[in-house]
Chain A
Amino acid sequence: MAASLRAVRQRIRAVQSIGKITRAQELIASSRIVRAQQRMREAGPYARELTRAVEAVVSRSSTIDHPLVNEPENVSRAAVLVLTSDSGFCGAFNTNILREEQRLVRTLTERNVEEVPYVAGRKGIGWHRARRIEMAQQWAGFSARPSVRDATEVTKGLLEAFDRPSEDGGVDEIYIVRTEFVSMLTQRPVVARLLPLEIEESSEEPPGGPLAQYEFEPSTETVLDRLLPQYVEGRVFYAMLESAASELASRRRAMKAATDNANDLVERLTREANNARQAEITQEISEIVGGANAMADANAGSE
């Protein structure tokens, strides 16, 4: 009995310290997520204006001839940028992203397109490495706090590959697998094609009023040349910010659940320990009483 009581007490201590760690992780994530959301908000105007500018150029001429817009005739290789986290402890965040990537790979394979993975985040890198899937490029170290420089770096790699013909190790399409930050409670993995731009003919009025007939300086082509890379970089940066906020929200939720579980477990184990202790006391008492009775009987016999 004594041994079991010691074992239960040891478990209580272990679970308590795990609870402290997860609680600390939860608090860290909660404090960082405020900042991450603020960064998303701050980047909003740029993303909005950039999209508007691209829409303005693209809507103007339905006959634009530009490699970043033209639908390639046959696609043989597609770059897939996957945004995962650097550290774990964030629930199903990475699993969801990687599952979405696998789904995309399946549809690409059906179209006879080879996937060329570009992976950001240690967890994603580890996942691909474990499955011996070769990555074209990998980046790590910024998943929870991406900077513009990181986005520039990633975009450069992608655009270089896009500029090369696919026979020469380049790619014909670029997809991005990222996590959309819907709210603190909901984040969902989404796949979008980054390049070539998907031009949708729509009769709906774009948000922010109808687009004006812009004049381009110096020329439509030059503006497009400069605008599109900047647009891609803006999209990548915004995706990174959203992914960072999602990672933190996901971590906060996972760690809250873990802390709650640890607390429940401690409560249950404490009850178990009390039971064991009481059983030990009861046994000791009955042993003493039994011994006393035996001695009394022996004394009575000798008289």
Chain B
Amino acid sequence: MTLHVEVVVADRQLWAGDAGMVIAKTLDGDIGLLVGHPPVLGILAEGSVVRILDPAGDTSAATVAAAGGEITAAVSGGFLSISDDRVSILAVEAQLGAEVDKSVARSDLESALTEAGSPSPAEEPTEARYARAQLRAAGEQA
């Protein structure tokens, strides 16, 4: 038994396939989803990383290799729902870790931080959090 996972944004489907486990961060904290999880509808934390473990389906080498056998996706915010072993990640904006352009994400982060006037970590704007999440999804420290 595996989970069926769909990561979608408004204009396209980012990834769809089967997976062993999904780890995401909601407003309440980290949540790990395995087969048989009771139905949940939660709000994804702004600028967090969704990890899809043991993926099957679209596991082209480039998509998976970036994060060592798992698929990561940076999300700027949105929803997560699971019911009957179907997981959907409904993101406002999202990017797969393997598709992140690190230099672009880094400059996005810098410009977002400068614009907000170097805020404290708790007050960072969504853009900065999302850029950080992109870097983390790509396997960088941020």
Residues of A within 8 A of B (CB): 39, 42-43, 45-46, 49-50, 52-53, 56-57, 147-148, 151, 209, 211-218, 222-223, 226-227, 230, 233-234, 237
A22-B119 Cα distance, complex, nearest whole Å: 57
Q: Majority SS of interface residues in chain A?
A: helix
A16-B81 Cα distance, complex, nearest whole Å: 59
User: Beyond A53-B79, A214-B40, is A222–B9 a contact (Cβ under 8 Å)?
Assistant: no
Residue in A148, A213, A217, A218 whose beta carbon sits within 8 Å of that of B10 in the complex:
A148
Residues 69-108 of B, flagged 1 when their CB comes within 8 A of A and 0 if not, give 0000000001101011000101010000000000000000
List chain B residues, Cβ under 8 A from A222. Answer: 27, 43
Residues of B within 8 A of A (CB): 6, 8-13, 16, 26-28, 31, 38-43, 78-79, 81, 83-84, 88, 90, 92
Residue in A39, A53, A148 whose beta carbon sits within 8 Å of that of B41 in the complex:
A53
Specify the chain A residue showing the minimal Cβ separation from B84.
A212
Min CB–CB distance A301 → chain B (angstroms)? 95
Q: Majority SS of interface residues in chain B?
A: strand
List chain B residues, Cβ under 8 A from A226. Answer: 43, 79
List chain A residues, Cβ under 8 A from B40. Answer: 214-217
List chain B residues, Cβ under 8 A from A49. Answer: 6, 8, 81, 88, 90
A39-B41 Cα distance, complex, nearest whole Å: 27
Q: Is A230 touching B39 in the complex (CB atoms < 8 A)?
A: no
28 CB-based A-B contacts, threshold 8 Å: A42-B11, A43-B12, A45-B13, A45-B16, A46-B9, A49-B81, A49-B88, A56-B83, A57-B41, A148-B9, A148-B11, A209-B84, A212-B39, A212-B84, A214-B40, A214-B81, A216-B42, A217-B26, A217-B31, A217-B42, A217-B43, A218-B43, A222-B43, A223-B43, A223-B79, A226-B79, A233-B10, A237-B10
A214-B11 Cα distance, complex, nearest whole Å: 26
A2-B18 Cα distance, complex, nearest whole Å: 79
Q: Is B27 touching A45 in the complex (CB atoms < 8 A)?
A: no
User: Beyond A45-B6, A56-B81, A226-B79, is A214–B39 a contact (Cβ under 8 Å)?
Assistant: yes
Min CB–CB distance B69 → chain A (angstroms)? 25
List chain A residues, Cβ under 8 A from B11. Answer: 39, 42-43, 46, 147-148, 237
Specify the chain B residue showing the minimal Cβ separation from A236.
B10
Q: Is A46 touching B90 in the complex (CB atoms < 8 A)?
A: yes
User: Beyond A46-B13, A49-B8, is A214–B92 a contact (Cβ under 8 Å)?
Assistant: no
Q: Is A213 touching B6 in the complex (CB atoms < 8 A)?
A: no
A151-B88 Cα distance, complex, nearest whole Å: 22
Specify the chain B residue showing the minimal Cβ separation from A237.
B10
Residue in B6, B12, B43, B83 whose beta carbon sits within 8 Å of that of A214 in the complex:
B83
Q: Give the top 8 A-B pairs by smallest Cβ distance, nearest first.
A: A217-B42, A212-B39, A212-B83, A46-B8, A42-B12, A214-B39, A214-B41, A49-B88
